[in-house]
Structure 1
Amino acid sequence: MTTSHDPEREQFATTFQALGPQAPTILPGWDAADLLEHLSDRERDTPVVMAARLPGPLGRRAKTVREEQRARPWSERVERFRQGPGRSPVGAVDRLSGQGELLIHHEDLRRAQKDWEPRALSADQQAQAWRALTLLSRISVHVAADISLVSPRGGLQLRSRRSAGSLRVHGEALELLLWASGRDEVAQVRVHGDEGAIRALAEGRRGM
């Protein structure tokens, strides 16, 4: 049996296995099983998901396949995720983007649990979080303010064409990544800014 040899995926799979399918996430209406299914759909099962929306025999067969996948034992579904996306182009996208989707969704699960604590990331995981932030923040942050993201790894400037002021957001790279994705309830950051920028932040949008 092959594995992905990706530390973030390995840790995520271990968290899935330890918490079980009914564990809550911070995503409204989603438990761990819903999150794992989302990742499976994204990485391996996109054709099946699309086919399930079609009428006729093809759609019915695809729905049957999805039901069979959902009926598999939890440990088997987690192991399938642990092995990675196979030949799916998603794997290449994740490597280029710093594993942003996995990092964010892992915290969606971890930080919904009672007494969660920030985890210590390896140097490689910290670099992945920073790379993900530099790429994803530019398409996920829609705020009419000039924003400075400040972390121990450096700073990142997000300029607005119609700036109402300036903001500074301080935190570790992973925390800034969570903030940029709109996860204010769990992102451990410090936000400073003038009145216009703070108002623009409240009126703006973050997330994909």
Structure 2
Amino acid sequence: MTRHALSERLLLCDELLRVGPDAPTKCEGWDTRDLAAHLVIREGRPDLAVGIILPFLHGRLERERARMAAGDYGALVERVRAGAPVWNPMHFEKVDEVANLVEFFIHHEDVRRAQPGWEPRDLAPNLQHALWVSLRRSSRLMFRKSPTGIVLVAPGHGRHSAKLPDDHGTVVVRGTPAELVLYAYGRKDVARVELSGDADDIAALQQAELGLG
């Protein structure tokens, strides 16, 4: 079994150490130490991680994230590198691959693409395929707030209807699976995709909030 999630985790950790604790990321309001703390909480403190979706726990989550981020940065990154604790189902390879591939791919790119002079990586075909499979599975959720219909086209991988038209017509979003994933998860400013459709529909999509937000 190819462990793309593990590879992206390790590459992200290397990048976090390379750029240091105060480097910007594409996660709004977070620098690299904040991102590392988020990843540790996500895997090691599920009682707090639910604060991402439950507003009444958000304050506790943010306080713990800030506390972790203020500590030893190198040790924090090594906690990310170590992976989920043994009691967490994400500790197991198959669960890790399903639950963490997109998470670690996106956050790796969040760090890379916030630095000057970045360029897209030349990703292996099997990683692109895995990202395409993951995107097809999550696309309806990611594009649920789009005011337009969405058709995703990844040359060499296929096309997928992510959302039926709503207030507007349909926009075709074309790119590699990696770039489509970044666009779907709200990294529109750095995702290298091509949009085709009515100009008003494209403008409406570009203003929409995508991803889990």
Identity among equivalent positions (%) equals: 35
Q: How many residues align?
A: 195
**TM score, norm. by length of structure 2:** 0.78
5+ long unaligned stretches in structure 2: 51-56
Summarize the Cα distance change of 1:74–1:202 in structure 2 as closer, same or farther, 3 Å threshold: closer
Q: Structure 2: which amino acid aligns with 1:133?
A: L
Summarize the Cα distance change of 1:167–1:34 in structure 2 as closer, same or farther, 3 Å threshold: same
Match runs of 1:38-117 below 5 Å:
38-47=38-47, 67=67, 69-70=68-69, 72-87=71-86, 88-90=88-90, 94-97=96-99, 99-117=101-119
Deviations 1:143-175 (A, max 9, x none): 232221111321111232635212111111110
Q: Structure 2: which amino acid aligns with 1:84?
A: G
Taking the aligned partners of 1:189 and 1:65, their CA distance within structure 2 comes to 33
Which residue, 125, 128, 131 being the options, matches 1:126?
Answer: 128
Taking the aligned partners of 1:131 and 1:144, their CA distance within structure 2 comes to 24
3-state DSSP class of the match of 2:133?
helix
**TM score, norm. by length of structure 1:** 0.80
Match runs of 1:3-42 below 5 Å:
6-42=6-42
Please identify the structure whose Cα radius of gyration is greater.
1
The answer as to whether partners of 2:5 and 2:104 remain within 8 angstroms in 1 is no
Which stretch of the first structure deviates more once superposed, 181-190 or 163-172? 163-172
5+ long unaligned stretches in structure 1: 54-58
Q: Structure 2: which amino acid aligns with 1:103?
A: F
Partner of residue 189, structure 1: 193
Summarize the Cα distance change of 1:65–1:16 in structure 2 as closer, same or farther, 3 Å threshold: closer
Taking the aligned partners of 1:89 and 1:71, their CA distance within structure 2 comes to 28
3-state DSSP class of the match of 1:6?
helix
